[in-house]
Amino acid sequence: MNTWTSWPSREALSREMRPRARRRVGRGIRLALTGAALWGIIAKGELRPWASAGACLGVLVLYGVLWCYFRTTLRHRLGPALGMVALLVAGGALAVGADAPFAAVMLWCGCAVLALERLPMTVGLPVAVVALTLFVLFARSDSWLVTLLTALGVCLAGYTVRLDAEARGNTHRLLAQERAARKAEAETAALAERARIAREIHDVLAHSLSAQTVHLEAARLLVERGAERELVLERVVAARRMAREGLAETRQALSALRGDMTAVEDFLRELVASQGARLEVDGEPRRLPAEAGLAVRRVAQEAMTNVRKHAPGADVVLRLEYRPDEVELEFRDFGGRSPVDNSLGVSGSGYGLRGMRERAELLGGALDAGPAEEGFVVRLRVPA
């Protein structure tokens, strides 16, 4: 943006963006100057009553013109703003005619400062030159050098005020952008948390409920066919077991979402102890992030379920390796009575290894699965 042709930002022109203490000081100064001007007119005593009343009315009118000037420049309306400046310059000329040179000097210097502060520089600078030229011509000073230095000082003061306002406006915009960025970051984090919760609900409840549905449907068919009581009871017991396991896994997922779940190696030791498998841990154990820990748990559970379902009797070895910036879980089975199918496409309820691979990729990791020797290998790597 061209600083010579552009307006100062609205944040720079607005008083609302200024500190409260500064606004109070500015308001007090304006009231004090207005009061001093009115008192000077009344206390002079040389003017007739009607002339004093006219002078007081003129001061109030000038105050209203200044208010309109601030409002029009805030809205970046150049025509009305120049009209207000012209009225202020004319007021200075009237003050000279009324033998009030000090009032004229104050008006012309004020016009120069306000033009440099609140107008585009291509307009504000000529206005300031005109106002200060009138000041130099009508100033009653014994030294032209003092008058010229005063005019230059007024220009410098106006430009300094403009720079200060622009710096304040830029600071306000940066703060607003930072707040917006923080809000967007919080919304993104909330969406990510919702997605994480949705994945947990899908992975845990979908698997548990679909398994229960299968067992209960089998029990219904057995009842309709008049099967023996033991067969029906076996299906009902299996459905109850799946419900309990699903409840336990849901509690684990909620604990993980709260960040208070147990260490990964402790969970794996419990898993291999219940399934008769073997666990190997390499590297220095450490606490994993919640998402990484959940991924390791879910892959181990799914791989173990597939082995028991498709290759009963297979020997299973789990190896958990802690690396400097990631963790790797290797699940290997061999020697089963039938070949295990742990392919990524096998996922009847969306809870299979395909879902685990998607989870790993979301974390910036990878999941590979394929046949090896007499069995099957599943290998998970996630940053941690």
3-state secondary structure string across 273-318: HHHCCEEEEECCCCCCCHHHHHHHHHHHHHHHHHHHHHCCCCEEEE
The two three-digit tokens of residue 224, written as one number? 């309709």
Sort strands 326-334 and 375-383 into parallel, antiparallel or unpaired: antiparallel
Q: 326 forms bridges with which residues in the sheet?
A: 383
Q: 333 forms bridges with which residues in the sheet?
A: 316, 376
> Sign of the C-alpha dihedral, residues 289, 251, 266, 302?
negative
Closest CA to 115 of 102, 100, 135, 131: 131
Average pLDDT over residues 195-224: 75
pLDDT tens digits along 243-268:
887 777 777 666 666 665 667 888 88
Nearest-angstrom CA–CA distance, 143 and 134: 16
pLDDT reported for residue 277: 86
Query: pTM of this prediction?
Result: 0.47
> Sign of the C-alpha dihedral, residues 98, 100, 106, 108?
positive
What is the widest separation between alpha-carbon atoms in the chain?
Answer: 124
Confidence of residue 328 (pLDDT cuts 50, 70, 90): very high
Q: Could you give all domains of the chain from N- to C-terminal order, each with its CATH number?
A: 10-140 (no CATH), 262-384 (3.30.565.10)
The two three-digit tokens of residue 32, written as one number? 């004090």
Q: Is residue 249 within 8 Å of residue 212, measured between CB atoms?
A: no
The two three-digit tokens of residue 125, written as one number? 């600078």
Share of the chain above pLDDT 90, in %: 3
